Amino acid sequence: MNRLGEGTVQENKTGSGAENDLRVLACDTSSAACSCCYQQDGTTVAMSFLSVGLKHSQTFMPMVHDLIKKASARYEDLDLIACTVGPGSFTGIRIGVGAVQAMAFAAEKPAVPVSSLKALAFPLFDRENTLVVSMIDARNARVFAAAYFNGVEVVPEGARPVEEMIRMCDLWRDGNAPQASIVTCGNACRMYADDSKRVDVTPMFAFQEIDPRAVAAIAADVFLRVDPEERKRQFIPEALLPVYLTRTAAERNLKTCAPKD
């Protein structure tokens, strides 16, 4: 598990060239753990992390309210609220997205979506000549996964068999950066090396959970890259939607039970 607070995420890591003078509340509920942080002027003022299983409906909002109180902040003073939108735990994502939508509506603030896979990989983006592969267990030898090189997504997000993700990453590396190393992160990080019996892949076990500081940094960068007038349209709370990449259990059951013609 990533022990948050040990300097795994660089502050002020934005690529827009603009000064990050934002007040950001960043949240993650996409796994069995949930977390949040409050950043001001690119510096983390307060952060909370809780891993007690999928009890987010009971723990998430009290944790957020306590964080705001500890930071001596106010919702109405925020510049934006960021939230991971998936992929990951369907239940966790629904709770987080719904809660952030409600907070953003009530406080009349922008709501900025962040990919769970990108947030997992973000602390490793400063590694040179490295293909960073973020992997979340999707069960049945499948993963939610994406790969990044120099901070740029080179293998798009998808729900795939592990073997397919390995093949796609190897093909990209062989054709674009043959000398690059490969590191994996997320709760399925060991599956790349285990499945392929490889010794040239390094699972980063310290980066299995999302650091909310990464969520804040990504969201601030995205927000600052958008024209101020466009922000009013792009980051409205109702546009904050879950990203599942595959059907939920309810959808699968509905299809199974649907009458045949």
For the chain, domain boundaries? 23-116+210-246, 118-207
Cα 244 to Cα 37: distance, rounded to the nearest angstrom? 24
pLDDT in tens, 14-56: 444 445 789 999 999 999 999 999 999 999 999 999 988 778 9
- What CATH number does domain 23-116+210-246 carry, 3.40.50.300, 3.40.50.720, 3.30.420.40, 3.40.50.1970? 3.30.420.40
Cα 256 to Cα 21: distance, rounded to the nearest angstrom? 51
In 3D, which of 28, 22, 49 has the Cα closest to residue 214?
A: 28
Q: Residue 190, exposed/middle/buried by CB under 10 A (0-12, 13-18, 19+)?
A: middle
Task: Give the 3-state secondary structure of the chain.
Answer: CCCCCCCCCCCCCCCCCCCCCCEEEEEECCCCEEEEEEEECCEEEEEEEEECCCCHHHHHHHHHHHHHHHCCCCHHHCCEEEEECCCCCHHHHHHHHHHHHHHHHHHCCCEEEECHHHHHHHHHCCCCCEEEEEEEEEECCEEEEEEEECCEEEEEEEEEEHHHHHHHHHHHHHHHCCCCEEEEECCCCHHHHHHHCCCCEEECHHHCCCCHHHHHHHHHHHHHHCCHHHHHHHCCHHHCCCCCCCCCHHHHHHHHHCCCC
Q: What is the Cβ-side half-sphere exposure of residue 223, based on CA atoms within 13 angstroms?
A: 28
Confidence category of residue 2, pLDDT binned at 50, 70, 90: very low
The pLDDT of residue 143 is 97
- The CATH number given to 118-207 is 3.30.420
Confidence category of residue 82, pLDDT binned at 50, 70, 90: very high
The pLDDT of residue 16 is 42
Confidence category of residue 197, pLDDT binned at 50, 70, 90: low
Lowest mean pLDDT among 10-19, 54-63, 118-127: 10-19
Average pLDDT in the chain: 89
Whether the pLDDT of residue 220 is over 80: the answer is yes
